[in-house]
């Protein structure tokens, strides 16, 4: 069976992806209500009840809202570090099947190797993830995904973690001029967004992709776009040079408006 990766939604309003391998089905973040997630999964031919696990990056609502409904299904494990789990649990009436990990320590879940790593964001203990799977044969090559959607800047540790993956999901959260011109956000919020524990601008994401030496990337997904302070067109303009240049990877931009999910068959990436 070919491993498949789908981004069900990615924006400042909600983030969630589905990773299906030969032996398990997992969600990466659950930033939509359980009812909404059920509809998203049904459109992909899946069911929330069949999910083996959810991997949480941090406690913010656009990543963890769905845990309240998912907690009803005790067979679905919720993986998080201790600070994230405790913060989410404080808002729940039920206790889900928590599985606690330590940042920086690789572990296995069924046929997936998982490496959580710390990222700079204004949450209790936020992480990004690297997921590795396959490698058993020529027909099941080793593949890896990095999920890095909330961080104010890119430390050397994060750069090293994501340089060697096949598929990188990276945030391009805001266009600096659009953020500056936004009349609805107070100055304090703008400072938080563009601070070192806020979010990545289009420029910061571009610099990472342009400057990384000999990456393994075959596919880049730019996500977590702000609906108010960014646009697909703005990201396209910024990354046009990379998309048409000599870089050995494809670039897809995840529209913050609901639509067809990004889907990738990991075995067939070239």
* 3-class SS of residue 77: strand
Residue 32 φ/ψ, nearest 5 degrees: -130, 160
241: domain CATH number is 3.60.15.10
Give the predicted TM-score (pTM) of the model.
Answer: 0.95
Q: What percent of the chain has pLDDT over 90?
A: 87
Determine the Cα–Cα distance for residues 161 and 79; give it in Å rounded to an integer: 19
Residue 27, Cβ neighbours under 10 Å: how many? 26
- pLDDT top residue among 185 and 1: 185
Q: Which domain holds residue 225?
A: 4-268
Determine the Cα–Cα distance for residues 237 and 132; give it in Å rounded to an integer: 32
Mean pLDDT value across the chain = 94
Q: Are 222 and 145 in contact (CB under 8 A)?
A: no
Q: Mean pLDDT, to the nearest integer, of 36-57? A: 96
Residue 234 φ/ψ, nearest 5 degrees: -65, -40
- Residue 229 has a pLDDT of 97
Q: pLDDT tens digit string along 161-195?
A: 999 999 999 999 999 999 999 999 999 999 999 99
Q: Mean pLDDT, to the nearest integer, of 145-153? A: 97
Q: What are the contacts of 250-255 at 24+ separation with CB within 8 A?
A: 250/218, 250/219, 250/220, 251/209, 251/220, 251/222, 252/219, 252/220, 252/221, 252/222, 253/172, 253/221, 253/222, 253/223, 253/225, 254/7, 254/10, 254/11, 254/221, 254/222, 254/223, 254/224, 254/225, 255/225
The answer, yes or no, to whether residue 104 has pLDDT greater than 70, is yes
The answer, yes or no, to whether residue 65 has pLDDT greater than 70, is yes
Q: Give whole-number Cα distances, 201 to 151, 195, 205, in Å.
A: 10, 10, 6
Q: pLDDT tens digit string along 120-144?
A: 999 999 999 999 999 877 777 899 9
* 3-class SS of residue 175: coil
Q: Give whole-number Cα distances, 257 to 29, 182, 233, 260, in Å.
A: 18, 19, 13, 10
Report the candidate in 87, 85, 154 with the shortest Cα–Cα distance to residue 120.
Answer: 154
Q: Nearest 5°: CA angle at 60, between 59 and 61?
A: 115
DSSP conformation letters of 2-39? --EEEEEEEETTEEEEEEE-SS-EEEE---S-HHHHHH
- Residue 260 has a pLDDT of 80
Domain count, the chain: 1
The answer, yes or no, to whether residue 103 has pLDDT greater than 60, is yes
Phi-psi region of 16 (alpha: psi -120 to 50; beta: other; left: phi over 0): beta
Q: pLDDT tens digit string along 211-261?
A: 998 899 999 999 999 999 999 999 999 998 885 556 679 999 999 987 788
- Residue 244 has a pLDDT of 56
């Amino acid at each position: 069976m070919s491993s498949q990766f789908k981004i069900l939604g990615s924006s400042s309003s909600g983030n969630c992806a589905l990773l299906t391998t030969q032996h398990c089905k997992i969600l990466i973040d659950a930033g939509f209500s359980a009812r909404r997630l059920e509809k998203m999964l049904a459109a992909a031919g899946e069911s929330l009840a069949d999910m083996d696990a959810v991997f949480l990056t941090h406690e913010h609502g656009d990543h963890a809202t769905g845990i309240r409904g998912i907690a009803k299904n005790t067979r679905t494990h919720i993986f998080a570090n201790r600070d994230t789990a405790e913060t989410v649990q404080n808002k729940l009436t039920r206790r889900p099947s928590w599985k606690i990990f330590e940042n920086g320590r690789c572990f296995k879940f069924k046929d997936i190797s998982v490496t959580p790593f710390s990222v700079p964001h204004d949450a209790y203990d936020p992480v990004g993830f690297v997921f590795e799977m396959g490698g058993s044969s020529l027909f099941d090559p080793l593949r890896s995904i990095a999920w890095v959607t909330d961080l104010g800047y890119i430390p050397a540790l994060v750069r090293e973690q994501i340089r060697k993956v096949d598929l990188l999901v990276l945030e391009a959260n805001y266009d600096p001029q659009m953020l500056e011109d936004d009349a609805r956000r107070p100055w304090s919020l703008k400072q938080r967004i563009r601070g070192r524990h806020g979010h990545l601008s289009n420029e910061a994401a571009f610099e990472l992709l342009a400057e990384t030496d000999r990456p393994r990337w075959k596919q880049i997904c730019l996500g977590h776009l702000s609906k108010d302070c960014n646009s697909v067109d703005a990201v396209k303009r910024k990354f046009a040079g990379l998309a048409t240049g000599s870089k050995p990877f494809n670039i897809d931009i995840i529209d913050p408006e609901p639509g067809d999910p990004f889907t990738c068959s990991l075995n067939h990436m070239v």
